């Protein structure tokens, strides 16, 4: 069942939580609503569920307008951040709750409910906890039970509000993988809210980036990371290195630092955004860029060596970060306090006033693209 969000607005005591948000959520896909706190993602999820009313706009499930339909009748599954298990009911009673709440005519028989509960307990790989109470379970187990409870009535749509937010890193990773596998098996339409970029990119088929009550960008994870459409998405999705300066004669410069911009005709203030993996380090400047930096710290843990640097002879609001392979690190042997030069391969230029970036590619000069996204 696909979901259509049509110009949904919500105002809380003068705070515009959602501002005419429109969005299509495809059937059978796992969609992430990603954004910082206060971006309206949870409010949007609660409006889809019917737990919150919108001030304007419509919600459609498939072709059916459900805006006026009570939560109770929307037939959705909802998973809460803090599990919200019924603490006075056993795990089995929790899972059976939705089935037992069905109107008498639709309600399955006792044995049928029992069978379904056992089936779900198998699905969440916790066949032995049926008689336990929620307080006797670990966080990860609780969230699995919450998921089983949400799926018991075979909802059309599964909504998850920061489902892994309250769990520790290890459990979170396991559960994430498990949810992905479960989704690949059953293909329910699901929407989950998260503020964790990694989680959104790893888990979902489609990511909706939100900020200040509006949708910034909707894309598949790979495209989203490779082609952010706005400064916000750039800043929000992972580490980014910036050079702010003035463009004159196809060159962006600030004090001692400059980068050539082949093919860029515009002039004026601009910012260049560079991902850590789009930059290399060398002991001398290149012909197309001179970005002197001093190494502040070197982190060896992980698949890549992470080097943090500060500008020398120019300014940047944030520390620069560059990744280097371990073999490259062994060959070059950079040390803290040394001066190095950043050599950009690919960059994203924001001209003053423009909200969309233009790509610059130095690595393959023939393929220089100044695409106007």
Partner 1 sequence: MASQQHRVGDTPWIRRTLIASALILTMLMLVIPLVVIFAQALSSGWATFAENIGNEYTLHAIGLTLFVAALTVPLNLVFGTSLAWLVTRFRFPGRKLLITLIDIPFAVSPVVAGLLYLLLYGRNGWVGSWLTEYDIQLMFSWPGIVMVTVFVTCPFVARELIPLMQQQGTEEEEAGVVLGASGWRIFRRITLPNIKWALIYGVVLTNARAVGEFGAVSVVSGNIRGQTNTLPLHVELLYQDYNIVGAFASASLLAAIAILTLVAKAFVEWRQSRPEHPAPEKGGV
Contacts to partner 1 by CB under 8 A:
49, 51, 71-73, 75-78, 80, 82, 84-89, 97-98, 101-102, 128-133, 135-136, 146, 149-150, 153
Supply the minimum distance, in Å, between the C-beta of residue 153 and partner 1: 7
Half-sphere exposure of 18 (CA within 13 A, CB side): 25
Distance, CA of 236 to CA of 135 (rounded, Å): 36
What phi-psi label fits residue 20: left (phi over 0), alpha (psi between -120 and 50 degrees) or beta? left
Residue 372 is classified by DSSP as: B
Give whichever of 118 and 345 is closer to partner 1, judged by the CB atom: 118
Distance, CA of 348 to CA of 357 (rounded, Å): 6
Supply the minimum distance, in Å, between the C-beta of residue 281 and partner 1: 49
Give whichever of 125 and 135 is closer to partner 1, judged by the CB atom: 135
Supply the minimum distance, in Å, between the C-beta of residue 285 and partner 1: 57
Distance, CA of 95 to CA of 114 (rounded, Å): 10
Give whichever of 105 and 331 is closer to partner 1, judged by the CB atom: 105
DSSP-derived secondary structure for 162-193: STTTTS-HHHHHHHHHHHHHHHHHH--EEEEE
Over 37-106, what HEC string results? CCCCHHHHHHHHHCCCCCCEEEEEECCEECCCCCHHHCCEEEECCCCCCCCCCCHHHHHHHHHHCCCCCC
191 contacts: CB under 8 Å, gap ≥ 6: 3, 25, 31, 32, 33, 45, 48, 157, 158, 159, 160
Give whichever of 146 and 324 is closer to partner 1, judged by the CB atom: 146
Q: Structure tokens of 236? A: 């929000």
């Amino acid at each position: 069942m696909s979901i259509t969000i049509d110009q949904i607005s919500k105002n809380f005591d003068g705070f515009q939580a959602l501002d005419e948000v429109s969005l299509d959520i495809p059937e059978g896909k796992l969609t992430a609503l990603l954004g910082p706190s206060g971006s309206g993602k949870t409010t949007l999820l609660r409006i889809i569920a019917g737990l919150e009313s919108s001030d304007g706009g419509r919600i459609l499930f498939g072709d059916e307008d459900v805006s006026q339909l009570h939560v109770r009748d929307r037939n959705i599954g909802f998973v809460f951040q803090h599990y919200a298990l019924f603490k006075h009911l056993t795990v089995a009673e929790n899972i059976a709750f939705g089935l037992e709440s069905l109107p008498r005519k639709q309600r399955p028989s006792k044995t049928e409910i029992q069978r379904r509960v056992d089936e779900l307990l198998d699905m969440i790989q916790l066949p032995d906890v049926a008689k336990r109470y929620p307080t006797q379970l670990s966080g990860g187990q609780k969230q699995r039970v919450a998921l089983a409870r949400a799926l018991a009535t075979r909802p059309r749509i599964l909504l998850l509000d920061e489902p892994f937010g309250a769990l520790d890193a290890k459990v979170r990773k396991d559960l994430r993988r498990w949810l992905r596998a479960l989704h690949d098996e059953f293909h329910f339409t699901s929407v989950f809210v998260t503020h964790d970029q990694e989680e959104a990119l790893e888990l979902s088929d489609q990511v909706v980036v939100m900020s200040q009550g509006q949708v910034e960008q909707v894309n598949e994870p790979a495209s989203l990371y490779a082609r952010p459409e706005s400064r916000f998405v750039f800043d929000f999705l992972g580490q980014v290195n910036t050079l702010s300066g003035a463009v004159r004669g196809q060159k962006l410069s600030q004090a001692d630092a400059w980068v050539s911009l082949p093919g860029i005709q515009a002039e004026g203030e601009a910012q260049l955004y560079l991902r850590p993996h789009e930059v290399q380090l060398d002991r001398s400047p290149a012909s197309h860029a001179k970005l002197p930096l001093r190494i502040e710290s070197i982190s060896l843990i992980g698949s890549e060596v992470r080097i943090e640097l500060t500008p020398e002879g120019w300014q940047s609001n944030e520390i620069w970060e560059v990744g280097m392979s371990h073999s490259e690190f062994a060959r070059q042997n950079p040390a803290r306090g040394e001066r190095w030069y950043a050599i950009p391969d690919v960059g994203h230029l924001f001209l003053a006033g423009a909200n969309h970036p233009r790509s610059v590619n130095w690595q393959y000069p023939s393929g220089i693209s100044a695409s106007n996204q």
